[in-house]
Structure 1
Amino acid sequence: MATNPASAPLIIIVRKKKRHGGHHGGAWKVAYADFVTAMMSLFIVLWLLNSSQEVRKAIGGYFQDPTGKGRQIGSGMAGSGDALQVSKSDMGQIKEKLQQAVKQAVALEKSRDHVQMTVTGEGLRIEMLETSAGLFFQSGSGEPTETGRELLATLAAELGKLPNRLMIEGHTDSTPYKGVANYSNWELSADRANAARRLMEETGLRSDQVQQVRGYADQDLRTPKTPGDASNRRISIIVKYDMLPPDPDPPAAKTIQTEPNRKAGLPRPPSPTSQQPASPLAAPNARS
């Protein structure tokens, strides 16, 4: 049977030409960009390995805080290497260096167990804990012993290298001071703190590095359950965190008034803990 050509279906064959769009579709550009980025990263790493410690710390400060709100050098904040922020991890390294310096001092071999270092919220706290016989200061006196002088000089040589400010505190136990009229634990604690400051400034500290000198007497006991323990008699040196920002919302100051002051409408006088009395040294036969 013959087929009618008019009713046969029309078959259309479309032949597409394969073309290489933009040199293989541009995929080579992505690979080349990755290669260039990798090479640039390699050159930066090689450069950093040959850079100084200050440069590496500056670069690290930027990547830790790229917004420029941090306190590390290199973060975009005005200043130089002298405005270095010491973090808790840095304080840990400072602690290790100080401990190593104390260990290397032959004269301090018997007193190492009486030097405690702790990283706290305010900085690195170094405590010189006394013994009943008087290890770092002569009994009942603000005069350092040879061991005390050696330790303070060792600490000053290391701390003087830092940009951080220091606070020096003097503490006593709760036993009342006897032997000299108008001289108490308040004067003794302040005299010992000031003696430590003077010696450390002579052996390594900058003249403006000590920010505060405090005498606490027995108002901040290390072992409150045993107020008469010798370890309560101590010198505390606090290495403060550098350049801490001010509190944006400081708490409102509260004025505590005594009963006579309330009647007169006068504020309470300042606490003697911040005073630095220039009192004569006590006799050696008094308690420490």
Structure 2
Amino acid sequence: MEAGNNRPIIIKRKKVIAGGGHHGGAWKVAYADFVTAMMAFFMLMWLLNATTEQQRKGIADYFSPTIPINRVSGGGAGAFGGDNIFTRETLAQSGTGGIANRDGDEAVDVGATAAAQETASLEDLEAALLGLGGESALSDNQLRHVVTRLTDEGLVIEVFDMPNAPLFYGATDTPEGVTVQILEMIARILGSVTNDVAISGHVKAETVVRLRNPAWDVSTSRAARTRLILEAASFDPDRIARITGEADRDPIVSDSSSIRNNRIEIVVLRSDL
């Protein structure tokens, strides 16, 4: 073999850098932290929407730094001197309760609960009258004269005139037969609650100017006749809080001369007012 054929063998070793070169894998860690943070954020939003105010208050109290740590031994084996961490009145050697006394908050909670129960009771009354949850206590002919609405004062029950179907004869306080039937049914339904009621009469405005406007007398006498019909249907007269005649001063529709303004309003008053 000739000397010229003895060529040196050169081996190249290629260095492979893992992780995408100079970027490394740090971006993956950062991305994972971002996704985790977003997940925690959306879980927080969901919890705020899915929990009640009372539940959120309980969670806040759990993390509230109002639980004192007993630094002086009270003779007990526990870290709190033998007393319970949740004792409200006394904690060994401290004289204060382990849970912050939130009497003001409790009073607000009790008031809110009572108001919610009151609203639920009025809604049940409304449902029984109008048949919102099933069959109505009123017939279709009677039901077309009645609408209700919940207000800050209570449940307002409106009984109003329909075209060619008035509640009273002419401009008098003599009720039509359907009016008596509606008021008797309302009296029976109101027997399921103990709330006081207020009665007011309303009439439409006259299209011509009269020397003596009968609106005040008519609205007042109709409210008084409504009271008599309710009492005749065994409604407790002591629950009548007031009777007023509003004349044509409180129209329910923009056209003050519309017969829709001829109405009797029976307000089931909230008991906390």
TM-score bracket, shorter-length normalisation: 0.5 to 0.7
- Provide the aligned length of Structure 1 versus Structure 2: 168
1:214-225 to structure 2, matched below 5 A, reads 214-224=244-254
In structure 2, what residue type is equivalent to 1:138? Y
Question: Which of the pair has the greater relative contact order for Cα pairs under 8 Å at 6+ separation?
Answer: 1
1:149 paired with 2:180, answer yes
Mapped partners of 1:153, 1:127: distance in 2 = 14
In structure 2, what residue type is equivalent to 1:231? R
Residue in 2 that maps onto 1:19: none
Deviation at 1:207, TM superposition (A): 1.4
1:103 paired with 2:141, answer no
1:107-146 to structure 2, matched below 5 A, reads 108-146=139-177
Say if 1:102 and 1:154, in contact at 8 Å, map to a contact too.
Answer: no
Structure 1 residues 208 and 187, CA gap change in structure 2 (3 angstroms)? same
| Percent identical residues | 22
Residue in 2 that maps onto 1:70: 110
Residue in 2 that maps onto 1:22: none
- Cα-Cα RMSD: 3.2
Structure 1 residues 154 and 87, CA gap change in structure 2 (3 angstroms)? same
Structure 1 residues 141 and 114, CA gap change in structure 2 (3 angstroms)? same
What TM-score, normalized by structure 1, do the two folds share? 0.52
Query: Structure 1 residue aligned with 2:265, among 236, 247, 264?
Result: 236
What TM-score, normalized by structure 2, do the two folds share? 0.54
1:168 paired with 2:199, answer yes
1:1-288 to structure 2, matched below 5 A, reads 66-67=106-107, 70=110, 87-100=118-131, 103-105=136-138, 108-175=139-206, 184-224=214-254, 226-244=255-273
SS in 1 for 2:230: helix
Mapped partners of 2:178, 2:135: distance in 1 = 12
Q: Which runs of 5+ in 2 are unaligned?
A: 1-104
Structure 1 residues 234 and 67, CA gap change in structure 2 (3 angstroms)? closer
Mapped partners of 1:152, 1:235: distance in 2 = 10
User: Residues 231-287 of structure 1: CA distance to partner in whole angstroms, max 9, x if unpaired?
Assistant: 00000000010032xxxxxxxxxxxxxxxxxxxxxxxxxxxxxxxxxxxxxxxxxxx
SS in 2 for 1:117: strand
Structure 1 residues 218 and 90, CA gap change in structure 2 (3 angstroms)? same
Mapped partners of 1:140, 1:222: distance in 2 = 19
User: Residues 33-92 of structure 1: CA distance to partner in whole angstroms, max 9, x if unpaired?
Assistant: xxxxxxxxxxxxxxxxxxxxxxxxxxxxxxxx855983599x9xxxxxxxx995223221
User: Residues 159-200 of structure 1: CA distance to partner in whole angstroms, max 9, x if unpaired?
Assistant: 123110100010001116999x96711000001111001110
Mapped partners of 2:140, 2:120: distance in 1 = 27
Mapped partners of 1:160, 1:154: distance in 2 = 10
Structure 1 residues 239 and 120, CA gap change in structure 2 (3 angstroms)? same
Deviation at 1:140, TM superposition (A): 1.4
SS in 2 for 1:222: coil
User: Residues 91-142 of structure 1: CA distance to partner in whole angstroms, max 9, x if unpaired?
Assistant: 211110122398344xx42231221011111100000110243432222110
Structure 1 residues 177 and 96, CA gap change in structure 2 (3 angstroms)? farther
